[in-house]
Amino acid sequence: MRKIVLPLLAVFWANSVLAGEITEHPLIRPFPGSVLAQNMCKCSSFDMHEFFVTNPDSKKREKKPIKGTYRRLLYEVRNPDGSRKTDISTLEFFENFRAAAEEQGGQVLHEDAVNLTFRVPREDGGLTYCHVVTSASLGQQYLTIVDEKPFQKSLTFGPAEMKAALDADGRVLLYDIRFDYDKATLQKDALKQLTHVLTLLQGEAGLALEVQGHTDDQGADDYNRELSQRRAETVQAFLELFGIDEGRLTAKGYGETHPVAPNDSDENRAKNRRVELVKR
């Protein structure tokens, strides 16, 4: 079986597709030997597409609207002499896309005789959805791709807001301490929130905290617990690096066991991926 590769990106691309500008997707690649039919494609910085998904309970096909950076790309598989390659079946197209998506931690959401829908995670925490339709006799594949905007909690908490939450509730939920996908490596934009936590601890000498890591329910329980533990320890190490006494901090990963929202949608799962500070 011919295999497609969906390469992971070291740094996710800037979301700067202009309406009318035809650009290939950097994460989702076409079938090998494909050529982009520029005059039959469409790109826009923001649009919506209704993706076919299978309801896990009823097993029926439903439509799921996804908004974000939009591409509709037509590819044609060519032979070395430039003629169209017409001996690729729809099944072979779909099996290659399915295998490539799953290798990147993706998930098939629907498949029937003429439609394939899958999604793959991005390193910025968002999800990319792709709908594949083929004209096998013409060697063609239509890819409709939407980069859904990742969930963003309103504002970064400053020291005063964090102190108020800790005084009132004994805990504060932080969504702006982000990590690279499937890693415990801090993203650059986490520095602002971490600096606010550092300022809080420097100004409150008696404050001791448990730094908690939490995940959504995607993946194995033990793996999520271990990943959340490593992420909590990364935050603890950062704060201690800047002079916070190690006796004031403990790190604990809870994995998916303490959700703040049901894991029934992408947005709710994003709410469960968080760092919490809890008074000790």
pLDDT in tens, the chain (280 residues): 444 444 333 333 333 333 445 789 989 999 999 999 988 999 988 889 999 999 988 999 999 999 889 999 999 999 999 899 999 999 999 999 999 999 888 999 999 999 999 999 987 778 999 999 999 889 999 999 999 876 555 457 899 999 999 999 999 999 999 999 889 999 998 999 999 999 999 999 999 999 999 999 988 999 999 999 999 999 999 999 999 999 999 999 999 999 998 988 877 888 899 999 999 9
pLDDT score, position 2: 43
pLDDT score, position 156: 75
C-alpha 77: how far from chain center: 29
pLDDT score, position 46: 85
Its CATH class, for the domain covering 159-279, is alpha beta
pLDDT score, position 4: 42
Question: DSSP state, 217?
Answer: S
Q: Supply the angle between the helices 159-169 and 191-203 in degrees, to the nearest 10.
A: 60
pLDDT score, position 155: 57
SS3 content of the chain, % helix, strand, coil (to 5): 30, 30, 40
How many other C-beta atoms lie within 10 A of the C-beta of residue 59?
7
**CATH 3.40.50 for the 34-148 domain, yes or no:** no
Strands (E), the chain: 34-36, 42-54, 61-77, 107-111, 116-121, 127-135, 140-148, 171-174, 209-214, 249-255, 274-279
pLDDT score, position 104: 87
pLDDT score, position 185: 94
Phi, psi (rounded to 5 degrees) for 270 = -65, -35
Look up the pTM and report it: 0.53
pLDDT score, position 136: 87
Residues of the chain with CATH 3.30.1330.60: 159-279
Those residues with Cβ within 8 angstroms of residue 133's Cβ, 6 or more apart along the chain or in another chain? 114, 115, 116, 141, 142, 144
